[in-house]
Amino acid sequence: MQRRDFLLGLAAFIALLPSKVLAALWNKAAFESVLLNDASRHLDINAEIPSADIQIIAPDRAENGAIVQVEVKSNIVNTEAIAIFVEKNPTPLIANFMFSNGAEPYVVTRIKMAETSDIKIVVKVGGRYFTNAKNVVVLENGCG
């Protein structure tokens, strides 16, 4: 019962949000970009710093690209956002998670991968961007 009440409350809250607030949450141009560089530019990502403090847990080989589980954890203090990209997908930006004060920068999700590619993670901390990547070999096409 509590879960249903929570979901109804969340739906009502979103319905009452002004459209400008929703636009800030949903970056349509970034999610519709067909090139990785364009998607990054729409998220205002500039110079990226490689970092081993971003943990990516994903299979080395995915039997089916339609369902690839990805787990990401940022050990970088004050992480504000985690973006997940797959360069060889029709639209490379898969997700962009925002974290508020005190939230643990950790996500688990399932993604689709069109073909073998790197899963690239970009973490935003202040005005700086950190990155790490993991290659996943896709044995069966997931999206096209």
Q: Of the candidates 73, 76, 79, which has an alpha carbon nearest to the alpha carbon of residue 134?
A: 73
With respect to residue 79, please indicate whether it lies within any of the assigned structural domains.
Answer: yes
With respect to residue 2, please indicate whether it lies within any of the assigned structural domains.
Answer: no
Query: Domain of 119?
Result: 29-138
Find the CATH number of the domain harbouring 99: 2.60.40.2470
Q: What is the pLDDT of residue 102?
A: 78
Assess contact for 37 and 49: CB atoms under 8 A: no
27 forms beta bridges with: none
With respect to residue 45, please indicate whether it lies within any of the assigned structural domains.
Answer: yes
With respect to residue 13, please indicate whether it lies within any of the assigned structural domains.
Answer: no
With respect to residue 4, please indicate whether it lies within any of the assigned structural domains.
Answer: no
Read off the pLDDT of residues 78-123 as tens digits, 9 standing for 90 and up: 999 999 999 999 999 999 999 987 789 999 999 999 899 999 999 9
pLDDT band at 23 (very low <50, low <70, confident <90, very high): very low
Q: How many structural domains compose the chain?
A: 1
Q: What is the pLDDT of residue 141?
A: 64
Read off the pLDDT of residues 46-80 as tens digits, 9 standing for 90 and up: 899 999 999 999 999 999 999 999 999 999 999 99
